[in-house]
A = this chain, B = another copy of it.
Amino acid sequence: MAIVVQKYGGSSVATPEKIKNVAKWVIKKKLEGNDVVVVISAMGDTTDELIDLAKKITEHPDKRELDALLATGEMVSSALLAMAIKSLGYDAISMNAFQIELLTDGTYGKSLIEDINERAILDRLKEGKIVVVAGFQGITEDGDITTLGRGGSDTTAVAIAAKLKGECQIFTDVDGIYSVDPRIYREAKKIDEISYEEMLELSSLGAQVMHSRSVELAQKFNIPIYVALSCSDIKGTYIREVEIVEQKPITGIAVSDSDVAITLQNIEYDTNLLSDIFEAVASKKINVDMISQTAPIHNKVNLSFTIPKDDLRDCLDVIKPYYKKDEIIIDEDITKFSVVGLGMKTTSGVASRIFKLFKQNDIEVKMITTSEIRITCAIKQQDKMKAVGLVAKEFNL
């Protein structure tokens, strides 16, 4: 029998009614002749509520104890789902991190998975049971509970699928991956399949459907991920190795308004100085994204980079030693506009088509960075919708 690992997110199991509904869909998959493992998140906002509870005890909860606390959320939902399945007449069993021996590297709050005792799961599947695994949690060699951090349950599901050589299905509150966020561009098309690399670029650019870590893990073990809407038959999106043959040049567009651009004008052209500046910024754990630097004129350069808006004050503090007051320009009117596509590897001229389109339509490009499969431009926020529409039409997204 084929093994299918299904993951249901917190919004899919937010209430007892929703859990009962998930039970029906899980059973349906079982009745199609599969061995089914379900990985489940905590109900609705449980994790946030537990964090709030911890904060009422102390502003800075001990990390070990916070993980022990948060792990209970998935223990609750997994026990409830197993109950629901059994009440419908099918055999099921909930399993927590101790029971499947999901070993981690022991970093509280953002552990990496080191191993899973697949026998524990396989034995229960062989008994005909649907195995309901509490996601997001692991244990250390010493038996301490650790959690896997943001997107943790996705990672649990992918890791189990990799161990059991099964299919991985991620059920969530969107019905697949779109070429553009449908809230921004209503005619956006759903993508049938997308490569791991493209998905990783889109995730890191703010497409929230899948967390990068689980996609990286799936890529490492070559596990296809199917992303679809919970409890529905609507066709979703496969994330998997994609043949580049006849690939469209662009698969998706991502936009983000949450950055600000800082430009230091006429600073000394000195690589030590540049590395000092970025080290200072990094010391505050501020995530620098786009960086551009003009060619030196009379040994002076202009240096621009973008950071999250929330970090602006911190950033200005740490770079104060490196500029004079009239040399700095802060531009908050920034939208990061990115196109991603494996096809760019083989299709030349994508960048020039986009820039031509922008020029013809008076869209100013403030900064540009590129990778092998991505082009990102900083544009004015007022141009965002226009840019999305133009590029989506041009590349038939």
Chain A interface (Cβ < 8 Å from any Cβ of B): 16, 19-20, 50, 53-54, 56-58, 60-62, 64-66, 68-69, 71-72, 75-76, 78-80, 82-84, 86-87, 93-94, 96, 98-99, 143-144
Contacts and interface: CB of A to CB of B under 8 A. Distances in A.
B84 A57 contact: yes
Contacts of A71: 75
A193 to B, nearest CB: 36
16 contacts: A16-B57, A19-B57, A20-B57, A53-B76, A57-B84, A58-B84, A62-B87, A64-B93, A68-B78, A68-B94, A69-B79, A71-B75, A72-B79, A98-B98, A98-B143, A99-B143
A96 B66 CA distance: 14
Contacts of A56: 16
Copies of this protein chain in the complex:
2
A161 to B, nearest CB: 23
B72 A76 contact: yes
Main secondary structure on chain A at its contact with chain B? helix
B72 A87 contact: no
A68 B79 contact: yes
A86 to B, nearest CB: 5
A24 to B, nearest CB: 13
A227 B98 CA distance: 34
B69 A76 contact: yes
Contacts of A98: 98, 143
A154 B56 CA distance: 27
A69 B71 CA distance: 12
B53 A65 contact: no
